[in-house]
Structure 1
Amino acid sequence: VESYCFNYQLMREAYSNIKENGIQYPLYKIVMTPRGDIIDPNHFEGYKSNPACKVLSDASAKLNMLGQQLGLSPQSRAELAKLPKPTDKEQSMADLLNGGDSIDF
């Protein structure tokens, strides 16, 4: 659950950065002579992708995967519902977490 929350925060921060700076930003280069004299201080080279786009994509994919593991989609909930029920001799995970430390193994 903590990983899900962390990736959600990453996704929101990346989205905010993309809203503020766009998906691409202009790339400029300083053109100089071999002697070091500046010819063009703002030579336009093209556009570069905002790194926040990759962060957004990765965080979204991770959220999707974690959401499925946590049962946050109807299909994953159905898969979790198919898990076998504990038998009378086996203790459930809830029983183990509620004072099951007195069991001898």
Structure 2
Amino acid sequence: MPRKPKITTDETDRKDQRDKTEALKKSVENADTLPETAPRHLTGEAKKLWEKLVPVLNGTGYIIDADSSTVETLVINYAMLREAYESVKKNKVVYEVEGRIYKNPAVAIIDSTTKIIKSVGSDLGLSPQSRATLIDMAKTDEEDEGKDYEERFGANR
């Protein structure tokens, strides 16, 4: 699997990487942001996460309305993860029925949703490494002075 392209504005990085970064910035500068109110079909934990996460994502300047299905994938999988975890808390990882031991199916749901959340979250800049890449991309000389990027991206919440 090829590496993801590097997003950078650092003058010491390759010109083609900087050019792609500039093209990305231009492509999203006039795009609509994600709506901060969750879609009606989202409920519970998915809705809560949407409404907490979207303002942070919109603040990055790189997430646009076209990314809504990616954010929806993230919040739905998060809600499924939470529900599966409640099942594991209640029924344990394995349980016994009529003398037979069974693996709780929620364990597999936790495994698969965790992988999806990690992958999609990284795509949205929600891992430390991907956030650092987006921060690099967001830097300009004017923004660098006194800007606390950890606070901007919600690291201290």
TM-score by length of 2: 0.39
> Match of 2:80?
10
Q: Is 1:58 aligned to residue 112 of structure 2?
A: yes
Runs of 4+ in 1 over 6 A off after TM superposition: none
Distance between the aligned counterparts of 1:70 and 1:80, measured in 2?
A: 9
- The structure number with the bigger radius of gyration is 1
Shift of 1:73: 1.6
Normalized per residue, which structure has more helix? Answer: 2
Note the C-alpha offset of 1:25: 1.1
Q: CA separation in 2, counterparts of 1:73 and 1:50?
A: 29
Name the aligned partner's letter for residue 101 of structure 2: Y
Q: State the alpha-carbon separation in 2 of the partners of residues 13 and 61 from structure 1.
A: 16
Q: Which amino acid letter does the alignment assign opposite residue 116 of structure 2? A: K
Identity of aligned residues (%): 37
In the aligned structure 1, how far is the partner of 2:87 from the partner of 2:117?
19
Among candidates 122, 127, 141, match of residue 68 of structure 1: 122
Structure 2: 5+ residue runs without aligned partners? Answer: 1-70, 138-157
What does 1:19-98 align with in structure 2 at a 5 Å threshold?
A: 19-28=89-98, 44=99, 46-81=100-135
TM-superposed CA distance for 1:82, in Å, is 5.7
Amino acid across the alignment from 2:88: I
3-state SS of the aligned residue for 1:25?
strand
Q: CA RMSD in A?
A: 1.6
CA–CA distance in structure 2, aligned partners of residues 21 and 76 of structure 1: 36
Please list every run of 5 or more consecutive structure 1 residues that lacks an aligned counterpart in the other structure. 29-43, 84-105
Q: Which amino acid aligns with 1:71?
A: G
CA distance in 2, matches of 1:60, 1:74: 16
TM-score, structure 1 length as denominator? 0.57
